[in-house]
């Protein structure tokens, strides 16, 4: 698709543009966390515990006297890291297995799809919880486990695209000219199959962030003292009646971030759809 047509279609979607602005703002804020955070996110001061929002602590303090705004900013870095690394792992696995299944068909297709069906039989959250319970909870284990349990959708998308593309004239011509299977897959088929993968990856980042927040809320995600939005929600649940800010702001951060990525993903899907008008 022509880049100008894509940009014109995407720009017409005001919600997608708003989501993109919020995503970029999150990147900037998280990247500049050492300079934007007004306090050390891990500094404990029990004399300031559960202090309401005010001039010195704009979003208040938690049960240990730590600044909520600073922990919120630093928590964004963890969420972005988990989201992108986990989705990167899932996308890489899905691309490889989906391409092999769609291009070769037959026994390869049957084996990959049955394995995919087997993985889909298990509820993803329970599977993640089971693996995390066995492994030591850490940011890297969380990213790897989310990635290893989230590739099935990408594999199905790539397989479907390859089944259609491998019979197109350009693919048949490349094969007639003696191009190897590897060259046909990586140089001719895969670039033309990336549109739905890009949409799935964008939506997958939102899902990975939500999963990480859920694991941290349950105490099985990134471990203290590292600041994460899910852990902040877990800390605030015992103080809902007298320290509402402990749960409100992390909850809003998760809501806005996940919603932003979903809006961008929906905008990409509409812009890349050849059936939509230019």
pTM: 0.88
Going from the C-alpha of 193 to that of each of 110, 160, 186, 200, 277, the distances in angstroms are 20, 9, 10, 12, 21
50 torsion bin: left (phi>0), alpha (psi -120 to 50), beta (else): left
The phi, psi pair for 39, rounded to 5°, reads -140, 165
Distance between CA atoms of residues 255 and 79, nearest Å: 12
pLDDT tens digit string along 220-276? 887 777 888 998 998 888 888 888 999 999 999 999 999 999 999 988 888 887 655
Once rounded to an integer, what is the mean pLDDT over residues 206-214?
90
> Which of 20-24, 80-84, 171-175 has the highest average model confidence (pLDDT)?
20-24
Distance between CA atoms of residues 74 and 59, nearest Å: 14
Distance between CA atoms of residues 85 and 142, nearest Å: 10
Arithmetic mean of pLDDT over the chain: 88
């Amino acid at each position: 698709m022509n880049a100008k047509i894509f940009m014109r279609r995407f720009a017409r979607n005001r919600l997608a543009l708003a989501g993109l602005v919020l995503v970029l703002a999150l990147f900037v804020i998280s990247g500049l966390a050492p300079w934007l955070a007004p306090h050390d996110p891990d500094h404990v001061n029990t004399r300031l515990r559960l202090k309401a929002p005010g001039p010195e602590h704009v979003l208040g303090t938690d049960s240990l006297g730590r600044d909520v705004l600073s922990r919120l900013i630093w928590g964004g870095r963890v969420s972005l890291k988990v989201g992108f690394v986990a989705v990167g792992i899932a996308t890489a696995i899905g691309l490889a297995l989906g391409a092999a299944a769609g291009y070769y068909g037959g026994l390869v297709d049957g084996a990959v799809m049955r394995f995919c069906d087997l993985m889909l039989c298990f509820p993803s959250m329970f599977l993640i919880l089971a693996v995390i319970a066995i492994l030591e909870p850490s940011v890297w284990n969380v990213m790897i486990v989310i990635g290893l349990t989230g590739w099935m959708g990408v594999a199905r998308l790539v397989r479907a695209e390859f089944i259609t593309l491998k019979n197109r004239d350009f693919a048949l011509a490349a094969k007639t000219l003696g191009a190897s299977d590897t060259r046909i897959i990586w140089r001719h088929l895969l670039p033309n199959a990336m549109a739905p993968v890009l949409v799935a990856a964008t939506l997958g980042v939102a899902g990975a962030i939500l999963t990480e927040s859920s694991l941290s809320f349950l105490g099985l995600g990134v471990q203290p003292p590292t600041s994460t939005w899910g852990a902040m929600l877990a800390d605030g649940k015992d103080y809902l009646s007298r320290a509402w800010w402990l749960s409100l702001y992390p909850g809003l951060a998760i809501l806005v971030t996940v919603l932003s990525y979903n809006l961008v993903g929906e905008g990409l899907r509409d812009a890349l759809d050849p059936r939509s008008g230019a």
